[in-house]
A and B are shown apart, each in its own frame.
Chain A
């Protein structure tokens, strides 16, 4: 019925998801990994 809406919506969304994952998140995950592996070893 409103296929144009669906297309525009996916276009909008895909444009955002195409962006690279910011470093801050990769760094954050590294920190979380380090902290959880050190607690597990205790």
Chain B
């Protein structure tokens, strides 16, 4: 654990970095779900930590540090994706989400299935269902993280659920008949 803390925050029961460390597992999972790749996910987490540290003055104690960190990671993801899209469009004219799907062969089968299925969803649906359905954020928190209305999150989550149901069912069928 980190106990080399600066004196100014040492009096508080929980330091800023303790709060951040507690959120890292969830940030990694969110990053992995967005990018589909562990190396890119961890790069996103690293950027998030640096940005969070830089802007810690804008974080108010008592507010939801997890939601704040997820917002930073999400913003970072979209700014990287915009950059990547420009690069890929320059190279071959079309951006395909599929390039982000890794093999994931070491994973448990269900997990690999879920990861592959998630990567088939549009990004807006994917982030919504991860935040609400897996990370345990409320619709309200997810709406704030994504910068959209609560109703928008609700409809994205429900479309994502329906799409996942179809994708995962289809995968089960093709596995069994193969």
B32 CB to nearest A CB, Å:
6
Q: Are B162 and A2 within 8 A (Cβ)? A: yes
Q: Which residues of B contact A24 (CB under 8 A)?
A: 42, 46
Check A5/B4 contact, CB under 8 A, given A12-B115, A22-B42: no
Q: Which residues of B contact A15 (CB under 8 A)?
A: 108, 111
Count contacts on A: residues with CB < 8 A to the other chain: 30
Binding site for B on A (CB under 8 A): 1-2, 4-6, 8-13, 15-19, 21-22, 24-26, 28-30, 32-34, 36-37, 40
Known contacts A2-B164, A6-B133, A16-B32, then 13 further A-B pairs from the complex at CB < 8 Å, ordered by chain A residue: A9-B134, A10-B133, A13-B130, A15-B108, A17-B28, A25-B46, A26-B2, A30-B2, A30-B4, A32-B50, A33-B4, A37-B7, A40-B6
Binding site for A on B (CB under 8 A): 2, 4-8, 17, 20-21, 24-26, 28-29, 32-33, 42, 45-46, 49-50, 53, 108, 110-111, 114-115, 118, 129-130, 133-135, 161-162, 164-165, 168
